Amino acid sequence: NNQKSDSRGALIVLEGLDRSGKTSQSCRLLSYLEGLGHPVESWRFPDRNTGVGQMISAYLANKSQLDDHAIHLLFSANRWEKRSLMESKLRSGTTLIVDRYSFSGVAFSSAKGLDFEWCKAPEMGLPAPDLVLYLEIPPEVICSIIMFVGEIRKAAERGGYGGERYEQLEFQKKVARSYQMLYDASWKAIDAGLPIEDVEKQLREMVIWRSQTFDLKFLVLGSL
Ligand code: TMP
């Protein structure tokens, strides 16, 4: 491999059920890589700051209704509107830690009953991750933790599990099954039921192991 492709950033994606700890782990991973002197940024999808992102946000908060196919395409459009920036960051050597990506798109929409292949189609051509870290935890466990935390948080604005449209146990079980159908060689599952520090340690090891990067690849049918 030539110098140029060796120096590009890695695209690292965190996936998992709602409240599986992705957001706090991506923060920790960001500080770790920064500390090692890597140019790195943390991103998330949906990116609620764009016009499309605001439509998604309103939908998730049950403030608007949309056809299941339409919201699926909005989630995908939200990734496409960030594609050129994502690509230029990677090519210029910045590593991106991304909290949710195309896999969430397919897992959540297919869990609603949309055709799996149809869900994959609009994702084709987006930059392909070098590593997908799947924070694995049984939906029942998340629900019980969240109900406990929810009691404490009841008065707080954000609320507990069930606050957003998809945060229901039966639905999360279906999402977990859809995720399993997406697993491939670029995935690493981590037991997210372990203490936060243990999960963090495993994520660090996997990221370091996978940091020698290759040419930028793009999602193709079958690679999702
Ligand atoms: P968040 O809690 O990580 O901001 O994600 C909001 C919800 O949107 C979460 O329930 C997962 C769902 N989602 C999709 O349905 N499709 C997608 O493409 C993405 C990125 C998220």
Sequential DSSP letters for the chain: --HHHHTSPPEEEEEESTTSSHHHHHHHHHHHHHHTT--EEEEESS-TTSHHHHHHHHHHTTSS---HHHHHHHHHHHHHTTHHHHHHHHHTT-EEEEES-HHHHHHHHHHTT--HHHHHGGGTTSBPPSEEEEEE--HHHHHHHHHHHHHHHTTSSS-STTSSTT--HHHHHHHHHHHHHH--TTEEEEETTS-HHHHHHHHHHHHHHT-S--S--B--TTT-
> CA-to-CA distance for 90 and 213, rounded, in angstroms?
10
> CA-to-CA distance for 81 and 76, rounded, in angstroms?
9
Span from the CA of 178 to the centroid of ligand 1 (angstroms): 14
Taken in order of first residue, the domains within the chain and their CATH numbers are 3-209 (3.40.50.300)
Please tell me the predicted confidence (pLDDT) of residue 140: 86
Span from the CA of 164 to the centroid of ligand 1 (angstroms): 10
Q: Is the CB of 75 under 6 A from ligand 1?
A: yes
Q: At 111, phi and psi to the nearest 5?
A: -65, -25
pLDDT tens for each residue of the chain, 224 residues long: 434 445 889 999 999 999 899 999 999 999 999 999 989 999 999 999 999 999 999 999 999 999 999 999 999 999 999 999 999 999 999 999 999 999 999 999 999 999 999 999 999 999 999 999 999 998 888 777 767 776 665 655 555 556 688 888 899 999 999 999 999 888 999 999 999 999 999 999 999 876 666 667 788 766 77
Please tell me the predicted confidence (pLDDT) of residue 211: 64
Q: Is the CB of 82 under 6 A from ligand 1?
A: no
Span from the CA of 199 to the centroid of ligand 1 (angstroms): 22
Q: Is the CB of 123 under 6 A from ligand 1?
A: no
Please tell me the predicted confidence (pLDDT) of residue 213: 60
Please tell me the predicted confidence (pLDDT) of residue 195: 94
Please tell me the predicted confidence (pLDDT) of residue 1: 40
> CA-to-CA distance for 170 and 132, rounded, in angstroms?
24
Q: Taking the C-alpha atoms of 215, 178, 81 and 97 in order, what is their torsion angle to the nearest 10 degrees?
A: -50
Pairing assessment for the beta strands 131-136 and 11-16 based on DSSP bridges: parallel
Amino acid found at 135: L
Q: Which of 54, 60, 67, 100 to mutate to test the pocket of ligand 1 (most atoms within 8 A of CB)?
A: 100
Q: Is the CB of 46 under 6 A from ligand 1?
A: yes
Global confidence as pTM: 0.90
Q: Which of 112, 133, 149 is nearest to 16 (CA)?
A: 133
Q: How far is CA 45 from the centre of its chain?
A: 7
Q: Is the CB of 161 under 6 A from ligand 1?
A: no
